[in-house]
Amino acid sequence: MTKSRYLMIGGFLGAGKTTTMLRFAELLTARGLRVGLITNDQASGLVDTSLAKHSHVAVEEIAGGCFCCRFSSLIQAARHLTESTKPDVFLAEPVGSCTDLVATVSLPLQQIYGDQFIVSPFAVLIDPARALRVFGMEAGRTFPEHVLYIYNKQLEEAEHIVVNKADSIAPELLMALEVEIMRRFAQARVHIMSAREGSGVEHLLNLLLAEESAPLRVMEVDYQRYGEGEAMLGWLNGAAGLNGDEFDGNALLLNLARNVQQKLTAAGAEVAHLKMVLSPSGEPYELAACNLVRGDAEPELSHTLADPLDDATLLINCRAAGEPDTLRDAVSNALTEIAAQHSVQLSAGPLEYFKPGQPNPEQRINAL
Ligand SMILES: Nc1nc2c(ncn2[C@@H]2O[C@H](COP(=O)(O)OP(=O)(O)OP(=O)(O)O)[C@@H](O)[C@H]2O)c(=O)[nH]1
Ligand SMILES: [Mg+2]
């Protein structure tokens, strides 16, 4: 039986995992390889899955818990993709607030399913603007201590640390950050990349495909602290129908992101990642996508619609350090205000808002 590659990219919320995965998929497809993407979240209705479909990448979504807590679902998702697409390479994106993935996913895959998968080294992405704050190298709002515990644990288990978004930061700051990462996380090799512009992406892919995961040790994790950190992040996944007369979907998304941003900031809830897609109803291959990765960043459109809309579907995924009710109020009130501002009728779709539950891995390899 030919083995498939299992390539998992971690990193905190908004670091650029999906952007990187879709770049990888493009490069692999151009090489004649088949790709299957596995997305993951605490709830369903994922913006990332929509973006993958939009890019014509075969995708399976695991909702209702992170990979480590849903290891059997991960295996099942891989089987589904094998039946439909027979991927040569599985690209797996874990939830951005998840850690301990080497002990609970990479090592069990190698040890239990080693006849089916070659597991690539675990690479973890970071957003430099976020990292500079977390490491105290720049002033600015960050997260409560238990959330930072997760952030640091993600980097502690990385075999490769990838400073993404190199295009967004001055070269001297980038260099200082690289030195600081090497000092703090000596076990990892450090790379610089811009998934958006493409620099360093193919180099990283080649490296991850050429090697197998071989961590030096299994990281210790205080699951109580980890669970408390996860519970400090509010989570909201929602959908809505928008109906109007030739409205500008790109402008509506940007205005909505700014409005939610103002409301969350006023409520003291630091945004980890607000992401939204808007597509003409029944046409998932056309969409506008908007992201906001910090409370004081500018929302950005990563995809735009060429034409005005009459009837559209909106997906919103919001993660912020705050109570779920705070997220719900911010998003529903912003939606009502923006719909009125753009003369659009709103019809509410599914809405889930909650705090992630205590992580409880199905499998964990405790020692090498
Ligand atoms: N400037 C810049 N922006 C980037 C780069 N890579 C990703 N982004 C942007 O960062 C934002 C978040 O990117 P995603 O790929 O959705 O991040 P993610 O890690 O998958 O986020 P979650 O799934 O929510 O954890 C989007 O606006 C991207 O366009 C990059 O190299 N440079
Ligand atoms: Mg993502």
Find the 349 Cα to ligand 1 centroid distance in Å: 26
The finding on whether 39 has its CB within 6 A of some atom of ligand 1 is: no
Find the 18 Cα to ligand 2 centroid distance in Å: 4
The DSSP symbol for 284 reads T
The finding on whether 291 has its CB within 6 A of some atom of ligand 1 is: yes
Average pLDDT value for residue range 215-226: 96
Query: Tens digit of pLDDT for each residue in 225-264?
Result: 999 999 999 999 999 999 999 999 999 999 999 999 999 9
Find the 273 Cα to ligand 1 centroid distance in Å: 9
* Residues 4-228, CATH architecture: 3-Layer(aba) Sandwich (3.40)
> Which pLDDT belongs to residue 65?
87
Q: Which ligand is nearest to the CA of 257?
A: 1
Domain boundaries, the chain: 4-228, 233-354
The finding on whether 16 has its CB within 6 A of some atom of ligand 1 is: yes
Domains 4-228 and 233-354 in one fold: no
What is the rounded (10 degree) CA torsion for 132, 135, 136, 142? 80
Which residues, other chains included, contact 44 with Cβ-Cβ below 8 Å and sequence gap of 6+? 61, 63, 64, 237, 350, 352
Query: Tens digit of pLDDT for each residue in 283-340?
Result: 878 999 999 999 999 999 999 999 999 999 999 999 999 999 999 999 999 999 999 9
> Which pLDDT belongs to residue 313?
95
Query: Tens digit of pLDDT for each residue in 92-114?
Result: 999 999 999 999 999 999 999 99
Q: What is the mean pLDDT of the chain?
A: 96
The finding on whether 60 has its CB within 6 A of some atom of ligand 1 is: no
Q: What is the CA radius of gyration of the chain?
A: 20
Confidence of residue 1 (pLDDT cuts 50, 70, 90): low
Topology, domain 233-354? Alpha-Beta Plaits (3.30.70)
Q: What is the pTM of this model?
A: 0.97
